[in-house]
Amino acid sequence: MKPLFLSVFFLSIAFLGCQDQQQSTDLNGNGTIEVYEDTSRSLSNRAADILPRLSLEQKVHLLVGRGMNMPGSESPEIKEKVPGAAGSTYPLDSLGIPSLTLADGPAGLRIQPHRKGDSTNTYYATAFPIASMTASSWDTSLVKRVGKAMGNEVKEYGVDILLAPAQNIHRNPLGGRNFEYYSEDPLLAGEMSAAMVNGVESTGVGTSIKHFAANNQETNRMLINTIAGERALREIYLRGFKRSVQQAQPWTVMSAYNQINGTPASQNTDLLTTILREDWGFNGLVMTDWFAGQDPVAQMRAGNDLLMPGTPDQYSKILEAVKSGGLDESVIDRNVQRVLETILKSPTLQGYDYRDNPDLEAHAEVARQAAADGMVLLENRQNTLPVSDQSGTIAAFGNTSYDFISGGTGSGDVNEAYTVSLVKGLENAGYTLDASLQEKYEQYLKEEKADRPEPESFFDQPEPIPELELSKSEIEVQVANSDIAFITIGRNSGEFADRKIEDDFYLTDTEQQLIEDVSSAYHNTGKKVVVILNIGNVIETASWRDKVDGVLLAWQGGQEAGNAVADVISGRVNPSGKLPTTFTVEYEDVPSSKNFPGKELSDKEVTGPGGIPLGTPSEVVYEEGIYVGYRYFNTFDVQPAYAFGYGLSYTSFSYDDLSLSNNEFQDEITASVTVTNTGDVAGKEVVQLYLTAPEGSLDKPALELKGFSKTKKLQPGESQALELVLKPSDLASYDPDKSAWVADAGTYQVKIGASSADIKQTAEFNVAEPLTVEQTSNALTPNREITPLFK
Ligand code: BGC
């Protein structure tokens, strides 16, 4: 076989300036073009032409990655093309099959900014806002733009596949990686993920939607057995993945660490073959999460094509199994075929001439817009915001005002060149900050940081710096110096650990005291107080929100976060974000609070390859079933602090003239509604369509999100008509007894809302006969009875 590398080398000479294009070339010069070289052939034909040319050993090598350099402990054995990338596939140099490079992650490309022996260049990537924040924009075109910018960095830094987007469900606010995920709702998560995949892949690199599936906690994440009913799995935990697979066909899917109903996701044929490929039509590659699963042979059989980052032990076990007849070679061939198809479309194989020089300035602008559009205004009494008068002085309280958190930790982190803090953003926008307060905080933070040891490894997550304690008299001094107070409350979390209830979901005593003291001091002199939430996921707000005048959920807004907050504070951007996740009053109100993070089944800690701690065998039972997030709050009349879909604007909107294209459901129904800006400033509104199904054989949530649309920027008085389409699948619930998506006959209510708790217009249509919308396989059945918590 002729080396593919060589062919590409010649091609790139022949086509300088248009490196993206491929063309079949007779590299032998013998007058014939091999099938695998012929780019007019399908990827599948080309890969199938390579397969018989490979030895068994070569095939198995392609199925197991090349291993991994742990951040901070690089081994000279594993030569990295892109330092800081998470892994790479095995090259077969003699055949010209290159190694693909894979790198995280959801908020931007994670690679090392500095390289050994290279003191002149830097390799920073843009930190975009976290996924929960981009989802808060409810704007798929914006997310696609973010994806496109991210994909460009992936390609320009020589990476082939971005290990993103992540789209697990926000089952519980303590989930340590929720910031990497979009929403508690699978429709919103699926739409966001599809937009991100389309954006990234439009640049010619691949994505890996992850972590498939039901990976909703970090505690014992590699050993946890998630026990869930088929209905909850299909309707909540798989549904968003189905949407992004069917709308965007990502190059790859990453299987999760956890077990589902007793079988690790990466060894789960039901999940990876029956559902993903047969039910949904996925035709790409499945890779494991890093070091996931225990049995490489079972992984191969399940349809987990590529084991990442790959260990010598996995290679030997697969090879041995084929040689001894324990694993059919046809299984290997099927998986190798998928690996080859992925390699064939990669920029590396195509010889893309990357320059390590993406347009970081242009991407910073995209990051800033995405952050500004993802901010959610939670409170704004007496129009405290925007602060249009820039002549006054702002006092910024709270450590994180000065040390803004751009994103979470672990593999979801990005090595960005800078993070614009709140105070820097305000200064850039022309505001004056209270200098004496700034000095006090900066001095404190400097001293605290000097006392802290540098984290020893990637796995070490430093404890947050305790909030600076200020006495009442110290605060009084600032009141005299300033005209308004901002208090930033910051939270961070990430891979390897879930959050805590005390001093994390709930505020610390010092934070509560700060809010109390600052508010009473400023209010005594008629001055206002705004809280900025620089957080990755839900915290408690109900106990303190009435003490302040404004609350802005600024999330973790990436490297431009401070500038984006200033855009909203100044009114340059009118906030239009809405919550992708419910904010509860108490932690106990969360429907999964009784079952999170499950129970340990042994007291033995298990370790994996290289002594990596895997945790303790444990299980979690999803007894809340489909009642996750607003599906629970709305059905059982539990008052949240802020409802799913909620968010304020500097203007107001009216909703009128809801009409349906038909009163009887045939193949689809279109709902039309007119939204008018009834306030004084221009703004955008997120319009949500919820559906209430009639009573039927299955219990139903009070309402479910079935569509959404965001208006353009409407000028005061301007209207826009929006259309939202309902398909049969939007009407259906999953009936495990029938292994089918079914819709009952009866009256359905279409509810157009500004949030799940603020329905503006309602209309009805009828379904004459029950519909079986989709027959599925019978898969992922739990092997025990799950007692539902709610019904
Ligand atoms: C994470 C994945 C990530 C991978 C590679 C794993 O620990 O769970 O999300 O893509 O590491 O860094």
Is 580 among the domain residues? yes
Q: Please tell me whether residues 307 and 438 are part of one structural domain.
A: no
* Cα angle 246-275-102, degrees, rounded to a multiple of 5: 65
Are the beta carbons of 331 and 87 closer than 8 angstroms? Answer: no
Q: Please tell me whether residues 685 and 585 are part of one structural domain.
A: no
Q: Tokens 């039509």 sit at which residue?
A: 281
**Buried (b) or exposed (e) across 541-558, using 16+ Cβ within 10 A?**
beebbeebbbbbbbbbbb
Joined tokens for residue 221: 């994440």
CATH number at residue 665: 2.60.40.10
The SS3 assignment for 640 reads coil
Centre of ligand 1 to C-alpha 592, Å, is: 25
The torsion region of residue 482 among left (phi > 0), alpha (psi -120 to 50) and beta comes to beta
Q: Please tell me whether residues 574 and 662 are part of one structural domain.
A: no
Closest C-alpha residue for ligand 1 atom 7 = 290
Is 728 among the domain residues? yes
- Say whether 483 is catalytic: no
* Cα angle 206-211-214, degrees, rounded to a multiple of 5: 150
Centre of ligand 1 to C-alpha 450, Å, is: 30
- Long-range contacts formed by 68-73: CB under 8 A, 24+ apart: 68/290, 68/309, 68/310, 70/457, 70/458, 71/112, 71/457, 71/458, 72/456, 72/457, 72/458, 73/457
Name the residue range of residue 759's domain: 651-775
- What pLDDT score was predicted for residue 1? 36
What are the pocket residues of ligand 1 if the criterion is a CB atom closer than 6 Å to any ligand atom?
A: 86, 104-105, 163, 210, 289-290, 411, 495
Task: Give which of 576, 763, 538 is closest to 687, Cα–Cα.
Answer: 576
Give residue-wise pLDDT tens across range 541-555.
999 999 999 999 999
Q: Please tell me whether residues 156 and 290 are part of one structural domain.
A: yes
Count of structural domains, the chain: 3
Residue 512, number of CB atoms within 10 A of its CB = 15
Q: CB within 8 A of 666, min separation 6: which ones?
A: none
Q: Please tell me whether residues 389 and 310 are part of one structural domain.
A: no
**Buried (b) or exposed (e) across 290-321, using 16+ Cβ within 10 A?**
bbbbeebbbbbbbbbbbbbbbbeebbebbbeb
Helix (H) or strand (E) holding 636: none
- What pLDDT score was predicted for residue 20? 40
Q: CB within 8 A of 341, min separation 6: which ones?
A: 43, 44, 46, 47, 284, 285
Q: Please tell me whether residues 329 and 452 are part of one structural domain.
A: no
DSSP code for 349: T
- The low-confidence residues of the chain, meaning pLDDT below 50, are 1-21, 25-29
CATH number at residue 391: 3.40.50.1700
Is 672 among the domain residues? yes
Q: Please tell me whether residues 410 and 452 are part of one structural domain.
A: yes
Is 604 among the domain residues? no
Closest C-alpha residue for ligand 1 atom 5 = 86
Task: Give which of 148, 68, 63 is closest to 411, Cα–Cα.
Answer: 68
Is 357 among the domain residues? no
Q: CB within 8 A of 507, min separation 6: which ones?
A: 489, 515, 539, 540, 543, 544
- What pLDDT score was predicted for residue 32? 76
Closest C-alpha residue for ligand 1 atom 3 = 411
DSSP class per residue in 279-348: IT---SEEEESTT--S-HHHHHHHT--BBSS--HHHHHHHHHHHHTTSS-HHHHHHHHHHHHHHHHTSTT
Q: Please tell me whether residues 275 and 387 are part of one structural domain.
A: no
Q: Please tell me whether residues 443 and 579 are part of one structural domain.
A: yes
Centre of ligand 1 to C-alpha 256, Å, is: 10
Q: CB within 8 A of 518, min separation 6: which ones?
A: 397, 475, 485, 487, 529
Q: Please tell me whether residues 395 and 450 are part of one structural domain.
A: yes
- What pLDDT score was predicted for residue 371? 98
- What pLDDT score was predicted for residue 248? 98
Pocket residue to mutate for ligand 1, from 102, 178, 220, 495, most atoms within 8 A of Cβ:
495
Cβ-based burial of 774 (10 A; exposed 0-12, middle 13-18, buried ≥19):
middle
Whether the upstream peptide bond of residue 736 has omega within 30° of 0, thus cis, is no
Joined tokens for residue 674: 């007119």
End-to-end CA distance of the chain: 62
The SS3 assignment for 8 reads helix
Give residue-wise pLDDT tens across range 699-721.
999 999 999 999 999 999 999 99
Sign of the CA dihedral with 538 first, then 540, 542, and 547 last: negative
**Which phi and psi angles does 459 have, rounded to 5°?**
-80, -15
Task: Give which of 129, 180, 165, 318 is closest to 243, Cα–Cα.
Answer: 165
- What pLDDT score was predicted for residue 5? 33
DSSP code for 695: P
Centre of ligand 1 to C-alpha 373, Å, is: 28
Of 279, 289, 373, 403, the catalytic one is 289
Q: Tokens 């398909």 sit at which residue?
A: 727
Centre of ligand 1 to C-alpha 406, Å, is: 19
- What pLDDT score was predicted for residue 456? 73
Q: CB within 8 A of 443, min separation 6: which ones?
A: none
Is 789 among the domain residues? no
Closest C-alpha residue for ligand 1 atom 11 = 290
Q: Please tell me whether residues 571 and 684 are part of one structural domain.
A: no
Is 665 among the domain residues? yes
Task: Give which of 657, 633, 665, 651 is closest to 748, Cα–Cα.
Answer: 665
**Which phi and psi angles does 87 have, rounded to 5°?**
180, 175
Atom of ligand 1 nearest to the CA of 211: 9
Joined tokens for residue 656: 């009128």
Q: Against a cut of 0.85, is the pTM above it?
A: yes
Closest C-alpha residue for ligand 1 atom 9 = 411
CATH number at residue 289: 3.20.20.300
Is 768 among the domain residues? yes
Rounded CA separation 19/355 (Å): 12
- What pLDDT score was predicted for residue 93? 84
- What pLDDT score was predicted for residue 612? 76
Residue 777, number of CB atoms within 10 A of its CB = 12
Q: Please tell me whether residues 390 and 320 are part of one structural domain.
A: no
